[in-house]
Amino acid sequence: MKINFDKPIFLFNPRLKGQKLKGFKIYSSILEIPDSQPIDYVIIAVPARLCPSILEEVGKKNIPFVTIFSSGFSEINKPELEQELIRIARQYNYLASFKKSEK
């Protein structure tokens, strides 16, 4: 796959660990990526129930920027997941902003 981006791209998905997607190795967790490889930005696109643990891992890696694309929070009466994300975001000094989906 040809892309116009000159930095490494890392993919992680526990179900696909060890496989490749378009030539990119898939890791089980972001924590498996060597610290010698700096990561500037993470995009998390998973079901809401998985977001807190992944955000915790991103924080542990000291990655400065993260965007979460997900649903399944307060819009379906699960505000506790949203609150958990806010707690983790504050712990790692991330700015938390939520855009609720329209029904």
Give the global pTM.
0.84
The values of phi and psi at residue 67, to 5°, are: -125, 135
Confidence of residue 103 (pLDDT cuts 50, 70, 90): low
For the chain, domain boundaries: 11-91
Query: To which CATH superfamily is domain 11-91 assigned?
Result: NAD(P)-binding Rossmann-like Domain (3.40.50.720)
Q: Is 50 exposed, middle or buried (0-12, 13-18, 19+ CB in 10 A)?
A: middle
User: pLDDT tens for residues 32-84?
Assistant: 999 999 999 999 999 889 999 999 999 999 999 999 988 888 778 778 888 99
